[in-house]
Amino acid sequence: MDIRKIAVVGGFAVAAALTSAPLASADDLSIIFTPLVDSEISTLNAIFVTEVALSGGPASGEIITNGANTFDTTTLLYAPDSGNPTLLDYELYGFNPISNASSFPGAYDVFNGALAEFDDAYNVELYSLANPDAVVSSIPAGDLFGSVAPNLGDVLGVNAVADFFANGLNDLLGYLPTF
């Protein structure tokens, strides 16, 4: 019976060594971040396409896809930034859609942009764990979703993550109704 326990623990040790070896030997962090960022974009695109379908907005052929691993968008015809809001406006920007609306609606606007901010906070923190001495300005631009790095001189993980997270919470609060 004890030999089985040792075999199980040994199996876990081998699995951990095999899965973490590429991370330990990776000088180029793109093997970590490229699939991560692509996955985040795919998730936001899937949510966006679902919201578009639920709103009765443009058919999937009318959603503007800007290429592989980029955000899907649509025109102001389906999610206007002034005038009468559509169902898609409410889905993207919440209970106050016109004041929160962007002039170029897309997958980065899901939950009023909160998910993109949370993804930026996650990416900055992951980058800071991989590079403890790096500064925000050294993050590859493709690892952030158009967010402006809050304090370029800060060491990653100190204020940058908190600022992105706070921006995400503010966007989420803007999505919810105010009483």
Q: Are 155 and 135 in contact (CB under 8 A)?
A: yes
The rounded distance, in Å, linking the Cα atoms of 144 and 148 is 8
Domain spans in the chain, listed from the N-terminal domain onward: 27-175
pTM: 0.74
Name the helix (H) or strand (E) containing 105: none
Q: Which amino acid appears at position 155 of this protein?
A: V
- How do the pLDDT tens digits run along the chain, 179 residues long? 566 655 555 555 555 554 554 444 445 667 777 888 888 999 999 998 888 888 886 665 566 776 667 888 888 888 888 888 888 889 999 988 888 888 888 888 999 999 998 998 888 888 888 877 777 667 776 677 755 544 444 555 567 788 888 889 999 998 988 76
The rounded distance, in Å, linking the Cα atoms of 48 and 54 is 10
Angle at 142 between CA 93 and CA 157, to 5 degrees: 80
The rounded distance, in Å, linking the Cα atoms of 128 and 157 is 6
